[in-house]
Chain A
Amino acid sequence: MENTFDHELIYSIFKLVWSRKAAEKNEDDELFNIEVGRASKKNRRTTANANALKVSCELLRIFVSEAVQRAAMIAEAEGSGKIEATHLERILPQLLLDF
Chain B
Amino acid sequence: MDQTEGTHNPSPQGERERRRGAGKRAILEKMEGGEGAVVTEKLEEDEERTKLLRDRFRLSVISIVEAEAKKQGMEIAGHVVPCIAELAFELTEQLAKDVELFAQHAGRKSVNMEDVILSAHRNETLLGLLRSFSHELKAKEPQQTQKKRKRSSNNEVS
On A, residues with C-beta under 8 Å from B are 2-6, 9-10, 12-14, 16-18, 20-21, 23, 44-49, 51-52, 54-56, 58-65, 67-69, 71-72, 75-76, 81-85, 87-88, 92, 95-96, 98-99
Given contacts A16-B49, A75-B74, A55 and B133 within 8 Å (CB-CB):
yes
Whether the pair A64, B110 counts as a contact (CB closer than 8 A) is no
Report B36-61 CB contacts with A as 1/0, cut-off 8 Å: 00000010001001100100110011
A20 contact set on B, CB distance < 8 A: 46
* Contact of B93 with A by CB under 8 A: yes
CB distance from A57 to the nearest CB of B (A): 9
Total A-B contacts with CB atoms under 8 angstroms apart:
162
CA separation between A65 and B43, bound complex, in Å?
A: 33
A46 contact set on B, CB distance < 8 A: 100, 103-104, 109-111
Q: Interface SS of chain B: helix, strand, loop or mixed?
A: helix
CB distance from B87 to the nearest CB of A (A): 7
